[in-house]
Chains A and B, each alone.
Chain A
Amino acid sequence: MRMERDVFDAAVKIHSRRVFTLAVYLLGEREEAEDVTQEVLIRLWRKGHEVDPERIGPWLTRVTRNAAIDIIRRRKPGVRAVMDPGDGSTDPPEGSPGPERLAQSSQLGSRLLAALHTMSEPQRSVVILREIQGLSYREIGDALEMPLSTVRVSLHRGRRRLREELREVRHDVAAC
């Protein structure tokens, strides 16, 4: 038994961008993110009939995160992929800044991405879902099957970690 074709097509249209973006930021590597996205969408086709249509979004988020974590675990120790934040972006966010601000933000973006990949799970996933993808605490808890208190604690620790990382970078730059 498979998912209804039109339901699947609609789900791909609505959620595939979010799946791919989450995979890119979790893995820091586009090719692996493409593999994960393909795998997750095919899994949706095969297992989607078991999922409540209204919960396809949280289901995809959870499956994407689990698939990305599996890939990270299989990587050789010490290997850490961090992508350029501007790499492959085909859709700048609304109200895109001018060239000078863009250069600064790109520099900040690179530092943030590097800092993200120093974080452990589930802080990294929670920070990405909250700060990059804009999910509410409840949506994050729903997707990752976590109580709200765990979401809050993970987000708090993740943000603190990011501040520590960026503070150190600033000190290093100032020292130079």
Chain B
Amino acid sequence: MMSRRVERLTCAEVQDRLDAWIDGDLEGEEAGVLEAHVERCPECEAERRLADEIRAGLRGLPEFDVPDRVIKAVRDQTTPTIGERARGLLDAVFARPVPAMAAVAAIVLFMLAVVPWRQSETPPRYTAEEVERAAEETKLALAYVSSITRRAELQVRRRVFEDGAVSATVRGISRSLDWTGTAAGAEPTTTVLPKQNHEGSS
């Protein structure tokens, strides 16, 4: 049942409820009373038309696209610099201590391995005099090494074949194989290869 208060709405009360009515917020009964009042009251009818017009006018106002220069300025200011990227990477790495240490170790090893190698790629620059002196020194060094090698070879030959350094070994082998043809327990014969054969082979 409709309340007496709603039935007796004044123009001021109706106009105060116009927005709620237009928004559809009023209950059916109250909305019906307002509608009936507005139909027979020119002042409230004019107010309702004005409210409708304002609402339609506001809703007809355009939205605005953001100018490209604003979007570009935003992009420019939100694109991280190289330094910021590096800091971000370090922050991300050091947020996890164990992988961080592994990463640092890998970087250090990489630097130790690669940087000297890369540096050696650069050809050194020597003068012609330096190159010639280095060549002479190299010849002298090679001649010295060759001389030492020859002296060492002669010394070894003398020890082995002339001083009989191998006779003890030969005796041991001969005894094991009974190669000398002597009976077991007999004194083995010292075998020395003929001197002239070895000298002729050198």
A sample of 21 inter-chain contacts (CB < 8 A) reads A17-B64, A17-B66, A20-B66, A20-B70, A30-B64, A34-B69, A38-B73, A38-B74, A41-B70, A41-B78, A86-B62, A88-B64, A89-B62, A89-B63, A92-B62, A109-B61, A159-B51, A163-B47, A163-B51, A163-B54, A166-B54
Shortest CB distance B74–A (Å)? 5
Given contacts A12-B71, A156-B19, A159-B54, contact A132 B61 (CB under 8 A): yes
Does the CB pair A42–B74 fall under 8 Å? Answer: yes
Contacts of B51 in A (CB 8 A): 159, 163
Shortest CB distance B190–A (Å)? 92
Contacts of B60 in A (CB 8 A): 93, 97, 105, 109
The residues in A between 53 and 100 inclusive whose CB is less than 8 angstroms from any CB of B are 85-86, 88-93, 97
Shortest CB distance A125–B (Å)? 13
Give Cα distance in the complex from A93 to B13, angstroms. Answer: 34
Does the CB pair B50–A167 fall under 8 Å? Answer: yes
Name 20 extra pairs, CB < 8 A, besides A16-B71, A127-B58: A2-B80, A12-B74, A30-B64, A33-B64, A34-B67, A37-B70, A38-B73, A41-B74, A42-B74, A85-B61, A85-B62, A89-B63, A91-B63, A93-B59, A93-B62, A109-B60, A132-B58, A132-B59, A132-B61, A159-B51
- Tell me if B77 is interfacial: C-beta within 8 Å of chain A: yes
Shortest CB distance B16–A (Å)? 8
Q: Which one, A37, A86, A134, contacts B66 given CB within 8 A?
A: A37
Does the CB pair A112–B62 fall under 8 Å? Answer: no
Does the CB pair B63–A18 fall under 8 Å? Answer: yes
The prevalent SS among residues of B at the interface is: helix
Measured CB to CB, the residues of A under 8 A from B are: 2, 8, 12, 16-21, 24-25, 30, 33-34, 37-38, 41-42, 45, 85-86, 88-93, 97, 105, 108-109, 112-113, 127, 131-134, 155-156, 159-160, 162-163, 166-167
- Tell me if B83 is interfacial: C-beta within 8 Å of chain A: no
Does the CB pair B78–A159 fall under 8 Å? Answer: no
Among B51, B53, B66, B77, find the residue whose CB has the most chain A CB atoms closer than 10 A. Answer: B66
Give Cα distance in the complex from A120 to B30, angstroms. Answer: 31
Does the CB pair B66–A91 fall under 8 Å? Answer: no
Among A19, A42, A127, find the residue whose CB has the most chain B CB atoms closer than 10 A. Answer: A42
Does the CB pair B47–A42 fall under 8 Å? Answer: no
Given contacts A16-B71, A34-B70, A156-B19, contact A162 B54 (CB under 8 A): yes
- 8 A-B pairs with the lowest CB-CB distances in the bound complex, closest first: A89-B62, A131-B58, A45-B78, A108-B57, A90-B65, A20-B66, A21-B63, A41-B74
- Tell me if B157 is interfacial: C-beta within 8 Å of chain A: no
Contacts of A2 in B (CB 8 A): 80
Contacts of B77 in A (CB 8 A): 42, 45
Contacts of A33 in B (CB 8 A): 64
Residue of B nearest to A90 (CB): B65
Shortest CB distance B21–A (Å)? 12
Given contacts A20-B65, A90-B64, contact A112 B58 (CB under 8 A): yes
Residue of B nearest to A89 (CB): B62
Q: Which one, A34, A88, A92, A112, contacts B54 given CB within 8 A?
A: A112
Given contacts A108-B57, A131-B58, A167-B50, contact A24 B70 (CB under 8 A): no
